[in-house]
Amino acid sequence: MNMVRPPALKSGDTVGICAPARKIAPEVVEKAVKRLEAEGYKVKLSANLFGEEHQFSGSDAQRSADLQALLDDPEVKAVFFARGGYGFLRIIDQLNFDKFCEAPKWLVGYSDITVIHCHVNEVLGIETLHATMPVNFELDADSTAKMFGILRGEKIEYAAENKTAVANRSGKCEGELIGGNLSLIYALQGSVSDINTEGKILFIEDIDEYLYHIDRMMLSLKRAGKLSNLAGLLVGGMTDMKDNTIPFGKNAEEIIASHVSEYNYPVCYGFPSGHDKVNLPLVMGRICRMEVEERNVQIMQ
C-alpha cells in the first residue's frame, strides 16, 4: 500500500484539540494552546474537551462526537490528542473516516492513541504522528520542537544511544514503521484495526505493566506470527515496570530479547520514545531506515 502523507502545516493553519480518553484539566490545555499559538496556529477546542464521566473526558458518545467533528472540519489541518490514559478503544468503531480520507490531516499523540495510529495506518493507508501531547508539551523542549518540525515537513534523522542492560542486535533494515504502545497492539489483535507486521519495522513501548504481562503480550504476538517476518524491531521506553513478590527474573528488555532471539532482523533497545521525559516523534506508516549497532542506532525517515 502506498501510504498517504497529510499536508505539512503552515503558519496560520487551524489545529484542533480533543480528549478521546482520560479527562484533562483546563489549565493544562491553556498552556498547550499558548504554545500552539506561539508556533503560528489557530486552535479549535472540541465541544466536550473538559467533560467528565468517571475517569473519561465525557461519555463515549461525547468523545466520539468531538473527534468526529474535528475529523470532518475542513478548516482543521491537524488533530492533537490532549492526553492518553484509557478510552480510545471504546470509540474507534463509532468514527466515520470518509471526510478524513478525502482530506487527510495529521493525527498526533501516543500511548492510548496507538489505537488510531494502527487503525489509520492499516485500514486507511494514511501516515500519523507518534509524538508528545498537550498534557506534556512542557516535559521536554527538544521532543516538542522536533514534533512541530516534522509537522512542518522536516525529515527525521536521529542518532540514539542504548543505555539498557541488553545489547542491540546489529544490522541495517528498511520498512514501514508501525506500532506504538504494546498493550494496545496486543488489545487490537483480531480486530479490524489489527496490524500486518510482514516486512515492517515494529515499534513498541509501554509503561506501568507487570513484567509477566510483558511476557504474555510478547508471546501472544509471537504466536500470532507478528514477530517472525519483521524487517526490524525498535523498542522504546519500558517505563516503570512492576514485578510480583516472587520476581519474574528478567527485565522488560530481557523478556523481549528472549522472544525474538530466534530471528535475524536488527533489534534496537532503549530508543528514547514513549513514556519517558524524552519522547522523540516518529511518523507511523512512513518508510524508515534503521542502522543498528550494539549500543547505538540511527533512524531516518
Q: Give the residue numbers annotated as catalytic, written as ranges.
A: 111, 205, 275
- Amino acid identity, position 101: C
- Residue bearing cell 496490524: 195
232 with 171: CB under 8 angstroms?
yes
Q: What is the distance between the alpha carbons of residues 256 and 182, in angstroms, rounded to a whole number?
A: 11
Q: Is 162 exposed, middle or buried (0-12, 13-18, 19+ CB in 10 A)?
A: buried
- Helix pair 211-223, 252-260: axis angle to 10 deg: 20
Q: What is the distance between the alpha carbons of residues 68 and 75, in angstroms, rounded to a whole number?
A: 13
DSSP letter at 164 equals S
Handedness of CA 149, 128, 91, 102 (dihedral sign): positive
Nearest to 298, CA basis, from 274, 278, 280: 280
Q: What is the distance between the alpha carbons of residues 79 and 6, in angstroms, rounded to a whole number?
A: 12
Nearest to 85, CA basis, from 63, 107, 112: 112
